[in-house]
A = this chain, B = another copy of it.
């Protein structure tokens, strides 16, 4: 249980929130909006987060990340890579003269920022932020062309080039992000200016693309619009958006190949000559129809964004083949192509998947955005079938790669999340050109920072899921949920010391006694779980369905549930087919994967060996921000042999001396300057 002082803070905040008229209206609104669309088979409700671990992050997003990104988007951060993103819109709107600046998908940075703002405004009012967003929305709206088209690259730089290079130029991708922003902003504020803009844009897109004669039989190189259109369908109830999403999925990979057709039509020009996007169809998952894809190939972010859209459409249309493809791709990723940190994408070239069990740690790509996309995919699979495996992976990606993507001050970001770093090799061995040993202030291709912001700002939507009379708890995050069941609101208060100690308690407050099933995820890392209802122990084993302990009872106001998950220090091994983890161990405790850093353990981390059975224990006295303990233990360090300038020798004793080692949570690495880091340690 939380100490009394924190509880009162919690209640004070809830009261404040209640005092704000618009807040209580918005609370749980996803449920309301959904009812305007087709019935969703499985709904996620939004919870207000108040958590020892997460509240700091969400505050960081609100107070640092989003304001900082606002400055970046406006090119007001000295030293950071220029953005030009807002200025591009100004130019397109006719407010300013100038040339387009940045990547062909620069618009999406503004959209992701707006989406994050939407989620923030959905959980607490912020008039200044809302004013800034409204100003941007005004510019965006005025940048829309008379026919509904809205993309600053093509409007400003290549007006004649619209829809001539779907394979490379991200037009529909940018449209998708703008749609997501519009839906989030509308859900949060009830303001429909941007929603109207994107509806007009989507309607225009619907006149351009389709199987009908005279339309383009195309689809985007970078999936995104598919999942966005389903959100637009949910927000508006207009089935044509769902159908348009379905069209984009159905068309992908069709023969004769659209990318080849458009390539020839535009005379063979390419936008990114360094990667052969237009001919390497697997790069864009356009090598096969989506229902025939069984392995994750190509650009990792695209794969998981596509899968998220597929799962959405499968849920809405009950398309069994589509669902089956989702399940196959999921299985391939999580059982053969995912880092222990929940990172995906083993290769910098094409930011891509490679092959089964190929998971190099030092040359990993493991893009932050790809793990965010994996979370999107997992969340949608949870809606389709509430199995704890999806939430386990979601949690793994969230607590490790996504959090690793941002510095603890919210100002610096990783695009690539390696599992091993030897900084001396950087700049010298060009295999590591894509890997930064320290987080950067901003990127020329700045997809990841705003993606983290929008995910963390909407984290309250990932905690629970509902299906009929079952409330699933996917994530254990201190929070407050107002769940509409029958004709009343059921308040679910979750207090969590999950990340620190593996304990969680719930207080259930229905307006009147009501029966429903409370399904509690048993995390994959947990050896033993215990559960008390109103202080009385339950036999959990008998209650577990698909990884969730289901408590079915008549709930009365003030009922409590107390969960305890044992949280031992785990020695994790990789599958025997993984070459790069053979003979190595990774440390995990709770949802956190750990790593060694040079700052704690000195240089030459590869010399450290973790003998089987050696002492390893959580060090509660050494707790960094967030209260996650370090893990200390006994290891061996090879050395002491006299080499006399030899590079190779026989008859080396391999003598090792005992050393004390300190593991820190992977997500906290690289916050103390550049140094060596390793997740997998020899055993």
Chain A interface residues (CB < 8 Å from chain B): 331, 334-336, 338, 340, 346-347, 349-350, 354-355, 358, 360, 363, 422, 424-425, 428-431, 525, 570-579, 582-583, 586, 588, 604, 606-607, 609, 612, 638-639, 641, 643, 645-652, 654, 682-683
Q: Find out whether the CB atom of A429 lies under 8 angstroms from the CB atom of B346.
A: yes
* A570→B425 CA distance, assembly (Å): 30
Q: Find out whether the CB atom of B350 lies under 8 angstroms from the CB atom of A576.
A: no
Q: Find out whether the CB atom of A582 lies under 8 angstroms from the CB atom of B647.
A: no
* A322→B237 CA distance, assembly (Å): 81
Q: Find out whether the CB atom of B654 lies under 8 angstroms from the CB atom of A573.
A: yes
Chain B residues closer than 8 Å to A588, beta-carbon distance = 650
A355-B424, A425-B354, A579-B606 are contacts. A347–B650 as well, Cβ < 8 Å?
no
Q: Find out whether the CB atom of A643 lies under 8 angstroms from the CB atom of B575.
A: yes
Quickly give the copy total for this chain.
Answer: 2
Smallest CB-CB A-B distances: 3 pairs: A349-B430, A570-B650, A354-B429
* A647→B342 CA distance, assembly (Å): 11
Chain B residues closer than 8 Å to A612, beta-carbon distance = 654
Say how far A519's CB is from chain B's closest CB, in angstroms. 23
Q: Find out whether the CB atom of A338 lies under 8 angstroms from the CB atom of B647.
A: yes
- 20 residue pairs A–B, Cβ–Cβ below 8 Å: A335-B645, A340-B647, A340-B648, A346-B429, A347-B431, A349-B431, A354-B425, A355-B424, A355-B428, A355-B429, A358-B425, A358-B428, A358-B429, A422-B579, A572-B649, A574-B648, A575-B646, A582-B607, A582-B638, A583-B583
* A575→B588 CA distance, assembly (Å): 30
Chain B residues closer than 8 Å to A340, beta-carbon distance = 647-648
* A162→B683 CA distance, assembly (Å): 59
* A160→B355 CA distance, assembly (Å): 49
Query: Please, which residue of chain B has its CB at the minimum distance from the CB of A574?
Result: B648
* A350→B358 CA distance, assembly (Å): 25
Query: Please, which residue of chain B has its CB at the minimum distance from the CB of A644?
Result: B335
Q: Find out whether the CB atom of B638 lies under 8 angstroms from the CB atom of A576.
A: yes
* A336→B646 CA distance, assembly (Å): 8
Query: Please, which residue of chain B has its CB at the minimum distance from the CB of A652?
Result: B573
Say how far A126's CB is from chain B's closest CB, in angstroms. 40
Chain B residues closer than 8 Å to A607, beta-carbon distance = 576, 582
Among candidates B338, B347, B574, residue contacting A429 with C-beta atoms closer than 8 Å: B347
* A513→B576 CA distance, assembly (Å): 68
Having A349-B430, A574-B648, one finds 8 other A-B pairs with CB under 8 Å, namely A347-B430, A349-B431, A358-B428, A573-B648, A573-B649, A573-B650, A582-B682, A583-B609
Q: Find out whether the CB atom of B650 lies under 8 angstroms from the CB atom of A572.
A: yes
Q: Find out whether the CB atom of B347 lies under 8 angstroms from the CB atom of A572.
A: no
Q: Find out whether the CB atom of A648 lies under 8 angstroms from the CB atom of B572.
A: yes
* A648→B679 CA distance, assembly (Å): 13
Chain B residues closer than 8 Å to A425, beta-carbon distance = 354-355, 358
Among candidates B358, B583, B604, B643, residue contacting A682 with C-beta atoms closer than 8 Å: B583
* A670→B494 CA distance, assembly (Å): 61
A425-B355, A607-B582, A682-B582 are contacts. A430–B350 as well, Cβ < 8 Å?
yes
Chain B residues closer than 8 Å to A525, beta-carbon distance = 650
Interface centre among A583, A647, A652 (most CB of B within 10 A): A647
Query: Please, which residue of chain B has its CB at the minimum distance from the CB of A420?
Result: B579
Say how far A125's CB is from chain B's closest CB, in angstroms. 43
Query: Please, which residue of chain B has its CB at the minimum distance from the CB of A608?
Result: B582
Q: Find out whether the CB atom of A650 lies under 8 angstroms from the CB atom of B428.
A: no
